[in-house]
């Protein structure tokens, strides 16, 4: 008998303030955790899996294990340039979010899939790698470093195109990945991206030498997410 696939609701939040998106993630996570807490092992109704897409106004975010010294400009300069700064509860160090970058926030109950955070991160990387392959770009993993890279084994050419940082509560995930598509890369000059000083950052438009259709990339991401997680993805709402 064929196993019934998990359902994942895909939502596009558009351009949204980082804190507003974080609050919404916390709300969805809390709803799922409460469902799981009512009666251990006996859910009154199943948890709901989500994949949220969005873009943020310019903001630097610092992971809970990050180092503030990796922010290379002052708070005054941030204000002058209209860039936000938010310490977060995700893993990882400092990164940038801004227009032209697709941020993906999976709010999924890993108990519906598997209970292994390392495997979850590798699955997220696989989604990005397959999406980049649609454009003839060879994404890859870098040993000991989460995220997706281009030419990670060449010290002169290694560059990161997708940063990742997640949090998990009662096996419900939040935060996720940030894929540079048409991102203004100058913003990365103000930080030591992900705390890694000796490697550059990349964006899909620079790799291809042309602007890329953001909606098309989201469609590829959703499709490959469904393939990798063996789930049914809803239409984008």
Fold of 6-233: BirA Bifunctional Protein; domain 2 (3.30.930)
Q: Is the pLDDT of residue 40 over 70?
A: no
In this structure, what token pair is assigned to residue 109? 């109950």
pTM of the model: 0.94
Question: How far is it, in rounded angstroms, from Cα 130 to Cα 155?
Answer: 23
Kind and range of the H or E run holding 216: helix 214-229
Annotation says 194 is catalytic: yes
Catalytic residue from among 54, 162, 168, 194? 194
Domain limits, the chain:
6-233
pLDDT at 91: 86
**pLDDT, average across residues 180-192:** 93
Per-residue burial over 121-134, b = 16 or more CB atoms within 10 Å of its CB, e = otherwise: bebbbbbbbbbbee
pLDDT at 224: 98
Q: Is the pLDDT of residue 192 over 90?
A: no
pLDDT at 235: 84
**pLDDT, average across residues 139-150:** 94
Cα-trace Rg, the chain? 18
CB distance 182 to 173 below 8 Å: no
In order of 206, 225, 236, the CA distances from 203 in angstroms are 5, 20, 24
């Amino acid at each position: 008998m064929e196993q019934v696939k998990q359902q994942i609701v895909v939502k596009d939040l558009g351009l949204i303030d980082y804190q507003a998106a974080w609050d919404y993630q916390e709300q969805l996570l809390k709803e799922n955790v409460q469902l799981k807490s009512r009666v251990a092992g006996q859910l009154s109704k199943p948890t709901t899996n989500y994949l949220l897409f969005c873009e943020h106004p310019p903001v630097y975010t610092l992971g809970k294990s990050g180092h503030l010294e990796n922010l290379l400009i002052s708070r005054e300069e941030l204000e002058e340039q209209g860039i936000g700064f938010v310490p977060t509860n995700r893993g990882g160090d400092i990164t940038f979010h801004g227009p032209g970058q697709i941020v993906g926030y999976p709010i999924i109950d890993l108990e519906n899939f598997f209970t292994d955070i390392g495997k979850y991160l590798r699955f997220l990387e696989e989604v990005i790698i397959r999406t980049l392959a649609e454009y003839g770009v060879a994404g890859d993993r870098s040993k000991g470093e989460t995220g997706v890279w281009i030419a990670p084994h060449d010290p002169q050419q290694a560059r990161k195109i997708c940063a990742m940082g997640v949090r998990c509560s009662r096996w419900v995930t939040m935060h996720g990945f940030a894929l540079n598509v048409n991102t203004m890369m100058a913003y990365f000059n103000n930080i030591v991206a992900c705390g890694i000083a000796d490697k550059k950052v990349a964006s899909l438009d620079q790799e291809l030498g042309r602007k890329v259709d953001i909606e098309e990339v989201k469609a590829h991401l959703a499709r490959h997410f469904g393939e990798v997680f063996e789930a049914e993805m809803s239409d984008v709402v």
